[in-house]
Structure 1
Amino acid sequence: MSTLIAAEGLGHGYHDEWLFKNLTLGINPGQRVALVGINGAGKSTLLKLLADRFSPLEGKIVKNKAVKIGFLDQEPSFPDGYSISDFIFSLENKQQQLIKEYEELIEDPNPDEKTLNRLYEELSEHNAWEYEHEIKTILSRMGINHLQQKISTLSGGQKKRLALAKLLIEDPEIYVLDEPTNHLDIDTIEWLEKLLTSGNKTILLVTHDRYFLDNVCNTIVELDRGKIYNYNGNYAFFLEKKSEREASDESTFQKNKNLLKKELEWMRRMPAARTVKSQSRVNAFYDLEDKTKQRSDNQKVTLNVKMSRQGNKILELNHIGQTFDDKKIINDFTYVFKRGDRIGLAGKNGTGKSTLLNIITGFLEPEKGNVDVGDTTVYGYYKQGGLAFNEKERVIDIVKSDAEYIKMADGQTISASALLTLFLFPPKKQHGMVEKLSGGEKKRLHLMKVLMQNPNFLILDEPTNDLDIDTLNVLEEFLENFPGVLILVSHDRYLLDKMSEQLFIMEGEGNVSIYNGNYSEYRISLDTPKENPSTKKTTFEETKTASPTKKLSFKEQKELDEIEEKVAEKENEIEELTKLLGMIEATDYLKIQETSAKIDLLNKELEVVMGRWVELSDKTN
């Protein structure tokens, strides 16, 4: 299989520090590769090097000149003064230029008839109608409707979606995507998954979205302490193999540590004038010391700050109404928050999720209704846009501006420096400038500042954007044990499923509905046909109490009697497995998948049994 792009002896770094050295990596046609690693490991840098955005300090990138690479940056830039139309449609592509002219013309309330007819003919002549439909579908999915709008007027999320739309339209030989699901709603993410897995696309991506990663990628490449580890399989396979590697690394480390201790004693006993014969052992000692120093102690972010006391009255929303530009955003919404509420906020982009959060936290006064906040309620609001840090300020000074000492959940008080260390900011980074932090590290610092406020009402608006998966796992563990109220806005379906027990659904046109259950359960409910009350089927329990059967044979009657036992058995099995699913560790993806598959199989078997029950029951009427 011919390699489309390869890195040979690659090395790069910033601020006199190497991110990685001597990396070798090849990508073959049809591979869909996910690059994983902790924040600051160099994932985005490696993507940019492979996409030829700049040259490496060491090594080279080898690729066929004819291979077209499409790159989606985490924060894309655009030419000054461009409209959406100018950016989307390539001057070198005749089909695209015809489509551009056609789309701009039909936006005109009074299009020129002659020009329109000419474009019809030319689009047909160049077989561009199907292409035009594909482009419109992509733009519509990304929420791009007004082609004449200037790019400078778009929000950061809209710009990211615009850059992704252009890349999908161009359909390059290699897709290089840095956090492609950021700023997409869940419906669009699911559509994107299907698009990227259709055909034989070659993809290299960085994403924190574990469902997306598992559904799209067939190869995982881990960047860990400057080294590359390859895993041919999906994310669940990677987790299994990584745990095996780490167990092996731990065993090797302990052996090296014990050996280093013995060698250190030998070094101390050696006379100052060492013989030539001993020099090889001296060199081996220093090599062993370097290996032991380089080994990570598998540190994790520690989230255990103290929660403020919460009273009986928490928060009440009374008949909230809000409009913008005559458009209804929220219409007569009422809710009384209770202790332990875990609410997921779901809905398409632009339906008003951020507006509702701003009303809840008091950043926005509602046009109608009122917000009644309890005396003891302390908000912790992690905003999607992040904090506007002073890039020239030291990391530790940013934390000290809030507090020199912080109270932890166990009652201990620790310094700002110690807390930063728990959040994986070592002393060198603490005393460095914010500008030297990666995007994910800045988000981690933002999260830390929010939790320092000791909130009992925690609001997380897209907390997964740019955070590495290891930090997300720790965040999930913290949220599972968080006793206060939680409101979560996230396009990360895994996080929504695990953390929410209730949903506020922003349906558009001001409607906010409440669903009891998590996101996957909600999606299943949407796919289940709603019954007309007039044609509602008799329930199993109702049939049991109905009049005795009259038209069943002896064999059929026996079968109907046995169905009740079968239904009870399968329902009990499903209930036990569902309980087990909730107890499985978040990182044990294989066990989660295996248990979910068993539940799906039992549900299908139950459906067959119930189908036969309905068939037999109908004969008795």
Structure 2
Amino acid sequence: MSIISVTNLTFAYEGSYDNIFEHVSFQLDSDWKLGFTGRNGRGKTTFLNLLLGKYEYSGHISANVSFEYFPFHVDDKGAMTMDIVAEIVPDVVQWQLIRELSLLQLSDDVLYRSFDSLSNGEQTKVMLAALFLKDNRFLLIDEPTNHLDLHARKLVGEYLRSKSGFILVSHDRSFLDHCVDHILSINKTNIEIQKGNFSAWWENKRRQDQYELASNEKLIKDIKRLSDSAKRTGKWSDEVEKSKNGTRNSGSKVDKGYIGHKAAKMMKRSKNIEQRQQSAIQEKSRLLKNIETADRLQIHPLPYHKNELVECDHVSIFYGSNVVCKDVNFRVEKGDRIALCGANGSGKSSLLKLICDEDIPHTGVARKDQQLKISYVSQDTSNLGGQLSDYAASQGIDESLFRAILSKLDLSRLQLEKDISTFSAGQKKKVLLAKSLSEQAHLYIWDEPLNYIDVISRMQIEELLLEYAPTLLFVEHDSEFCANIATKVIEL
């Protein structure tokens, strides 16, 4: 066990006036299983890169362990998998590698295939096995679940649960719950650490937010009451001061000693009220700094004149001699929210593209009305770049609405003025989702819409879909999202 200490860390990218981190201090135990969470663009990957020494910063990071980042960069994906593992772990011991692969339910046959012939899930498992063969390393595991199917996520979760000494960046709630014992969260104004899994952290945060909102409401009332009281006391004080001179016409003598004593009491009361008011204002200023806003989203599905929108009739998809799915039959009817499930490589994305009229080699028929309007969210964000205004114009969507949705998904006004190519992976995915939410459509087809998307935004999207109930056909490996949203599940 050793301590990783972060002291007074401050960092901003070169040319930027905005600090990603400002005077941040905390300590980590190198034996912990840390889940790392925070909204997109808050600096999770940046922090991992700071641990790796990739950027200059002010402050201090000290540790008695070396850091190792996942996923590894693979230069030659056509190389034999065993050779790639040997590059990652030069002193690899064969039986230890086979043991790790076995824990991940992966046959050692994969070692003697080219790396690019492995599925995304197989590649992830091989690299994780190599990662945990490194001794005296604190492991920085950055979103290992993207593109992993539900079964693979469960396996990887079980594997990580048996390990320790890592930071795991993930937005999959059930995955985090399964394999971490502490949560490291990047909030609006600080970084905090809490013992327990994600659900425990979220419940504590929800309670803290509710307490702060209630305290804030009480302090607002107290400040108003004290302010009103101060005005009344000031008015009374003026009246007392005037009475010192007495009423000339009355002929009566004024007891100036009594009035002076009364004025002094009024002054003391006024000072007490002022001090209490300032104290309440200071206490209020400490509240609400880390409450996350999650404004209500909207979607505008179009009514459709038929109950059936799409029918797949004995559809088989193939690439060369490889049949990826065979004899698929299902219907999409009005109001359905269908989760298309299956292992990686089972043809889910190809089927969605076929329905969207892409040229996919197939037999059988995917029927739909030519008048059917579809809004599609792709897995791929690699082609995104340029200004948001140009992107909105190219997609034929209302720019004001598009920007408003992105703001609700926690993109700042400053971020909205930047080139899309500089966005984080999660922010790029939000661009595709905001585009879809800006479109009026009969059917929404979303292919892994939540990849890289932060937890709070996932919950926003869940609430939106449950409230507006659009017809939706989607592929998603977040088990909690599927359980909450899907009205039907189709297994390939």
TM-score for both structures, normalised by structure 2 = 0.78
Q: Match of 2:138?
A: 174
Matched, 1:474 2:474: no
CA–CA distance in structure 1, aligned partners of residues 479 and 288 of structure 2: 36
Is the 1:12–1:21 Cα contact (8 Å) retained in structure 2? yes
Q: Match of 2:74?
A: 78
Q: Match of 1:443?
A: 429
Could you tell me which runs of 5 or more consecutive residues in structure 1 were left unpaired when the two chains were aligned: 100-128, 267-280, 407-413, 507-621
Tell me which moved more, 254-263 or 415-424. Answer: 254-263
CA–CA distance in structure 2, aligned partners of residues 18 and 343 of structure 1: 42
Q: Counterpart of 1:181 in 2: which secondary structure? A: coil
CA 1:81–1:440: 2 relative to 1, 3 Å: closer
The structural deviation recorded for 1:204 is 1.1
CA–CA distance in structure 1, aligned partners of residues 140 and 33 of structure 2: 10
Instruction: After superposition, give the CA deviation of every residue in 1:494-519 in whole Å (9 maximum; x if it has no partner).
Output: 1121222322212xxxxxxxxxxxxx
Q: Counterpart of 2:141 in 1: which secondary structure? A: strand
CA–CA distance in structure 1, aligned partners of residues 144 and 115 of structure 2: 22
Is the 1:381–1:460 Cα contact (8 Å) retained in structure 2? yes
The structural deviation recorded for 1:38 is 1.1
Q: Counterpart of 1:17 in 2: which secondary structure? A: coil
Is the 1:302–1:423 Cα contact (8 Å) retained in structure 2? no
CA 1:373–1:171: 2 relative to 1, 3 Å: farther
Is the 2:216–2:287 Cα contact (8 Å) retained in structure 1? no
The correspondence of residues 374-453 of structure 1 with structure 2, limited to 5 A, is 374-386=369-381, 388-390=383-385, 393-403=386-396, 405=398, 415-453=401-439
Instruction: After superposition, give the CA deviation of every residue in 1:166-217 in whole Å (9 maximum; x if it has no partner).
Output: 3134365422111111122222221112221225x12211111111111111
Q: Match of 1:568?
A: none
CA–CA distance in structure 1, aligned partners of residues 424 and 319 of structure 2: 36
Matching residue's letter, 1:41: R
CA 1:198–1:55: 2 relative to 1, 3 Å: same
CA–CA distance in structure 2, aligned partners of residues 174 and 203 of structure 1: 6
Tell me which moved more, 359-368 or 133-142. Answer: 133-142
Matched, 1:164 2:164: no
Q: Match of 2:46?
A: 45
Q: Match of 2:328?
A: 333
Matched, 1:141 2:127: no
The correspondence of residues 500-579 of structure 1 with structure 2, limited to 5 A, is 500-506=486-492
The correspondence for 1:368, drawn from 363, 368, 384, is: 363
TM-score for both structures, normalised by structure 1 = 0.63
Q: Match of 1:6?
A: 5
The structural deviation recorded for 1:28 is 1.5
Q: Counterpart of 1:401 in 2: which secondary structure? A: helix
Matched, 1:88 2:89: no
Q: Match of 2:205?
A: 242
CA 1:298–1:90: 2 relative to 1, 3 Å: closer
Q: Counterpart of 2:451 in 1: which secondary structure? A: coil
CA–CA distance in structure 1, aligned partners of residues 202 and 462 of structure 2: 17
The structural deviation recorded for 1:53 is 4.0
Matched, 1:184 2:148: yes
Q: Match of 2:305?
A: 311
Greater relative contact order structure (CA < 8 Å, 6+ sep)? 2
| Identity over aligned pairs, percent | 23
CA 1:497–1:379: 2 relative to 1, 3 Å: same
Is the 2:4–2:62 Cα contact (8 Å) retained in structure 1? yes
CA 1:388–1:92: 2 relative to 1, 3 Å: closer
CA 1:493–1:202: 2 relative to 1, 3 Å: same
Calculate the aligned-residue CA RMSD, in Å.
3.7
CA–CA distance in structure 2, aligned partners of residues 159 and 188 of structure 1: 11
The structural deviation recorded for 1:491 is 1.6
CA–CA distance in structure 1, aligned partners of residues 473 and 482 of structure 2: 10
CA–CA distance in structure 1, aligned partners of residues 351 and 55 of structure 2: 45
CA–CA distance in structure 2, aligned partners of residues 33 and 344 of structure 1: 30
CA–CA distance in structure 1, aligned partners of residues 91 and 409 of structure 2: 53
The structural deviation recorded for 1:41 is 1.2
CA–CA distance in structure 2, aligned partners of residues 289 and 139 of structure 1: 51
Is the 1:19–1:226 Cα contact (8 Å) retained in structure 2? no
CA 1:80–1:338: 2 relative to 1, 3 Å: closer
Matched, 1:194 2:131: no
Q: Match of 2:251?
A: none
CA 1:260–1:296: 2 relative to 1, 3 Å: farther
CA 1:291–1:159: 2 relative to 1, 3 Å: farther
CA–CA distance in structure 1, aligned partners of residues 431 and 299 of structure 2: 14
Matched, 1:485 2:486: no
Q: Match of 2:19?
A: 18
Could you tell me which runs of 5 or more consecutive residues in structure 2 were left unpaired when the two chains were aligned: 231-274
The correspondence of residues 30-69 of structure 1 with structure 2, limited to 5 A, is 30-50=31-51, 52-64=52-64, 67-69=65-67
The structural deviation recorded for 1:473 is 0.2
Matching residue's letter, 1:174: F
CA 1:372–1:435: 2 relative to 1, 3 Å: closer
